[in-house]
Chain A
Amino acid sequence: MAGSGSPRGEVRVSQLTKRYGDVAALSDVSFSIREGEVLGLIGPNGSGKTTLFECIGGVLPLDGGAISRGGRPLTRAERAAALFYLPDAIAPWPAQTVRWALEYTLGLFDGRADWRDEVVRRLDLEPLLDKPIGTLSKGQRKRALLAIGLLTPQPVLLADEPFDGLDLRQTRDVAQTLGWFASRGRTLFLSIHQIADAARVCHRFVLLSSGRVRGEGTIDELTALARARSGDERTADLEEVFLALT
């Protein structure tokens, strides 16, 4: 039933809460991920970005809140079919080759085999295919992980720090690759702590600080919000908007 006003493919995160003992990592976090958009999650280190992704991805238990799609709360199985969360700073199956990891992802998740060659080409993985994942550098591993995420079939991909460990050229190439996938209907939700990187690739933004959402919208919408709050008409770019709102 999509009759509660949400478009069919929109994912709505409502009042999500997560605590570690007495510490509130996330407090009443609410926002939407619109179908086909590239949504950026921006926040300083320790703001709760990874916790939020892990809770949405189902690898960390929630203390409260709900995740719905098309206005309907998602069951665990439905969430697994709708969302794929790509963690940061992991080295899965370190003894296996990149080639095997891609085949495994395609086989296990019944992924997009027709995109395999395109992903390998765009992320420049051809020279790395026969290398074990555990032997890759941080940047190489990040590209291999992105390939795994991009080959999964879920309509929404959550990628934690997709540019972390990449050099300038690789960052630009990965941003183009993500844009290419978004233009083909894949919804992307990217956690990015470098605001310049976020501005390069995202359509809309969610600003997170101290476990709370400080703003949600396009740069123009957030700029207007920042100006309204600070009364400073000079607030212009995303960095200044972020500083004004957090």
Chain B
Amino acid sequence: MPSPSRGAFAWVLDKEWRELMASKAWWIFLALIGPLVGFSFIQAVRTYGEASGVGGTAAGVGEAFSPLVGIWAPTFSACELAAAFLLPFVAIRLVSGDRQSGALKIELQHAMPSFVRVGAKGLVLAAGWIVASAAPACAMVLWKLYGGTLYAPELMSVAVGHFLNAGLTIALGAATAAMTEHPSTAAIATLGVTVGTWILNFVAAVQGGWWERAAAYTPTAMVAQFQHGLVRLDLVLATAALIAAGLALAAVWIRIGVATRRRIAESVVLGGVLTVLIAACTLARGTWDTSENRMNSFSESEEAALRQIRAPLRVEAHLAPEDPRRVDLDRQLAKVRRAVPKFKVDYISATSIGLFEQTSAHYGEIWYEAGGRRTMSRVITAEGVLESIFSVAGVAPPTENEDEQFRGHPLAATPTGAGYIFYGLWPAGVAAAALFTRRKDS
């Protein structure tokens, strides 16, 4: 318990932490995230091991494997599930609980700004997420014990991505809980927004254009970038702005003593500020490829050659949004974008799936243009894209450097003991901690 002299905020933090520990939603979330992560980790290790030659299977594919793609992306995807379907209830419980019990009527009579009050809830929930991150941390320890390699930058990237995703969920849950009278309404609204972002992703895949740009900032798309080891400044800033806006919206609506009309007006202003902020965030250009296998970048020598291109580079691709070739091409062009600052891509298609455009004269063509020169290609591989760019820009391609190639970390291991830890020890430990905490507080 904080001493009375430590100030009101310390007391509110203490209270929020106690309320979190007293919440059944929190303990259920904590108990379930272990088996969820464990299941994903065990499956990933088995697949990785088989590809690396376990059980007499031919080794080969595993040599190209990076633990980031083979182990950590699937393992942490369980955290994404937990953030989408379990964490909202914890956040809603922490915010709605005060309204349901009547504590809000007492606490609101303190002059503390409501954003500080909601901020305390956000901090405690973020701390809760960090505690829950012990599950993937256990997976990392096990992987190391199996003889696997850990590359800290890419692991940090994945962890930060999921932390930001959890922050989004917390902010969304807090906002809906503050805006609605009952927690069940807040839960439905939160899940509605989550499903809405999935629909946006689907529409973006079909329609392309502005939908595609908007979908790049949904939680799923954001996490996917981090899971590939790519840290994009625009995404980090936009996510931070969304989290702040969600908490600010919650702060606006927990002030039950303020007229509804005024709260609506403040929410509209907040929406306007957020729109401007997000638009400004999209202008940020910084990116960092933290993956060990440079999966988001060309080789260092190729990037050095690309940086020599001074003239604006333009690509015009005649591919429909749902054409699988466009996905592959996008992946390569994203690498180009990271090395060439003056780079523009235009997609041209008459339909969304492209199936019935195959016979049209220019479908599938990819035109490259720089310094008044144009060249056309249909190749979507990294080598093909680079060859066209170097050709149109008049830059000599670098000589291939064998040392730069990622050799992979094959590991023919089985997930020994992981089942006992994630399906037995973890839930038992959480249950024991829940009982201990409740007994200590009562």
Q: Which residues of A approach B to under 8 Å, CB–CB? A: 54, 57-61, 77, 80-81, 83-87, 89-97, 100, 103-110, 113, 130-132, 148
Contacts and interface: CB of A to CB of B under 8 A. Distances in A.
B259 A108 contact: no
- Name the prevailing secondary structure of the B interface residues: helix
Contacts of B102: 87, 89-92
Given A61-B258, A80-B109, A108 B12 contact: yes
18 contacts: A59-B108, A59-B257, A61-B257, A61-B262, A85-B105, A87-B106, A89-B102, A93-B19, A93-B103, A96-B18, A96-B22, A100-B1, A104-B14, A106-B4, A107-B4, A108-B110, A109-B110, A132-B442
Nearest to A63: B259
Contacts of B262: 61
B436 to A, nearest CB: 15
Given A100-B1, A108-B107, A94 B101 contact: yes
Contacts of A97: 441-442
A77 B442 CA distance: 35
B101 A113 contact: no
B181 to A, nearest CB: 14
B266 to A, nearest CB: 13
B110 A59 contact: no
B110 A60 contact: no
A91 B105 contact: no
Contacts of B258: 61
Query: Closest 9 A-B residue pairs measured CB to CB?
Result: A90-B102, A95-B22, A92-B103, A61-B259, A107-B11, A58-B257, A108-B11, A107-B4, A59-B105
Interface in B103-154: 103-111
Chain B interface size, under 10 / 10 to 19 / 20 to 34 / 35 or more: 20 to 34
Given A90-B101, A107-B8, A132-B441, 5 more contacts: A87-B105, A95-B19, A100-B441, A105-B106, A108-B11
B260 interface: yes
Contacts of A95: 18-19, 22, 441
Nearest to A81: B111
Contacts of A85: 105, 109
B105 A57 contact: yes
B260 to A, nearest CB: 7
B418 to A, nearest CB: 34
B441 A91 contact: no
Contacts of B271: none
Contacts of A107: 2-4, 6, 8, 10-11
A100 to B, nearest CB: 7
B103 A60 contact: no
A54 B12 CA distance: 23
Contacts of A90: 101-103, 105-106
Interface string B236-277: 000000000000000000001111101000000000000000
Contacts of A54: 105
A84 B105 CA distance: 10
Nearest to B438: A95
Contacts of A60: 256-257
B101 A91 contact: yes
B442 A92 contact: no
B15 interface: yes
- Name the residue among A57, A58, A107 with the largest chain B CB count within 10 angstroms: A107
A95 B101 CA distance: 10
B8 A108 contact: yes
A163 B380 CA distance: 79
A158 B164 CA distance: 43
Contact of A148 (B15, B106, B110): B106
A104 B105 contact: no
- Name the residue among A57, A96, A104, A132 with the largest chain B CB count within 10 angstroms: A104
Nearest to B260: A61
B71 to A, nearest CB: 39
A77 B256 contact: no
A9 to B, nearest CB: 19
Contacts of A61: 257-260, 262
A59 B99 CA distance: 11
Given A59-B256, A107-B8, A84 B109 contact: yes
Contacts of B19: 93, 95-96
Contacts of A104: 11, 14-15
Contacts of B109: 57-59, 80, 83-85
- Name the residue among A84, A90, A95, A96 with the largest chain B CB count within 10 angstroms: A95
Nearest to B258: A61
B11 to A, nearest CB: 4
Nearest to A132: B442
Contacts of B14: 104
A22 B23 CA distance: 40
Nearest to A87: B105
B442 A130 contact: yes
A90 B109 CA distance: 15
A95 to B, nearest CB: 3
Nearest to A58: B257
B101 A92 contact: yes
Nearest to B6: A107
Contact of A96 (B11, B105, B441): B441
A132 B74 CA distance: 42
B1 A113 contact: no
Contacts of B107: 108
A85 B22 CA distance: 26
B231 to A, nearest CB: 40
Nearest to B24: A95
Contacts of A105: 106
